[in-house]
Structure 1
Amino acid sequence: MDRGTVGSANRGRLQVEVRTEGRSEIVKPVGELDHHTAELLRVPLEEALAKGRTRLVIDCSRLEFCDSTGLNVLLGARLKADAAGGGVHLAGMQPVVARVFEITGAGAVFTVHDSLESALDD
């Protein structure tokens, strides 16, 4: 499901795809996650949690950038999923995105997988 786009064709653009596979809600942000686009990710994460989907897998394989606003969206989803007995799994992070999690220490509070396949197998 395409959640829309924000920004120009070259910068500030984010598309979010959502699908259910087994017990996981797979959310795939494509593009740049920043203060201009964070709401496009926040909405489907909150909708999934409202539907009782507490195992969220974020397929980061096509996420090109993540700033502190994007990180806060993911941290908020993690808190809500944990409170509901689930969790947030990050899969396939590109080095530039992984660096944000490394610098902030946020990677320690998520379950991080090398690939979407390993996240789904977990």
Structure 2
Amino acid sequence: MDRGVVGTTGRDRLSVAVRRQDHCAIFTPVGELDHHTADLLREPMEAALDEGHVKLVVDCSQLEFCDSTGLNVLLGARLKADAAGGAVHLAALRPIVARVFEITGAEAVFTVHDTLTAALDG
């Protein structure tokens, strides 16, 4: 994916589909999650928690890149979900994104699933 000019807005580099199912909210970020795009995921995750959805599932199958800002969005959502008695589940991490979690040790604080179906069942 063409990263474009540094400092460009995120809307052309990340889209986030959101759907709700019972007590669960499912997020599918497509593209690059970084400093310029983080709010596109942060805002709907916070809204879902505010609405009472305590299980947040992030389908990472189409996430092509995640930097430390993106990781912090997910960690922040995990803390808020945990405080509400819920959790953040990650599904279908691509190797390049999984590597960020591995290097930082963040994989230890998330429930990670091979597939979206497994995350929804778990």
What TM-score, normalized to structure 2? 0.90
Q: Superposition pairs for residues 6-85 of structure 1, below 5 Å?
A: 6=10, 13-85=13-85
Give the counterpart letter for 1:116 in structure 2: L
Structure 1 stretches of 4+ with a deviation exceeding 3 A read none
* Identity between Structure 1 and Structure 2 (%): 70
- The gaps in structure 1 that reach 5 residues or longer are none
What TM-score, normalized to structure 1? 0.90
Residues in 1 aligned to 2:34 and 2:20: alpha-carbon distance in whole angstroms: 25
1:100 is the counterpart of 2:97: no
Helix, strand or coil at the partner of 1:6: coil
Give the counterpart letter for 1:25 in structure 2: A
Residue equivalent to 1:117: 117
Question: 1:94 Cα shift?
Answer: 0.2
Give the counterpart letter for 1:89 in structure 2: H
1:37-67 CA distance string (max 9 Å, x none): 0010000000000001010000000000000
- The gaps in structure 2 that reach 5 residues or longer are 1-8
Helix, strand or coil at the partner of 2:103: helix
RMSD: 1.2
1:76-122 CA distance string (max 9 Å, x none): 00000000000000000000000000000000000000000000111
Residue equivalent to 2:4: none
Number of aligned positions between the proteins? 114
Residues in 2 aligned to 1:40 and 1:20: alpha-carbon distance in whole angstroms: 17
Residues in 1 aligned to 2:22 and 2:48: alpha-carbon distance in whole angstroms: 14
Give the counterpart letter for 1:58 in structure 2: V
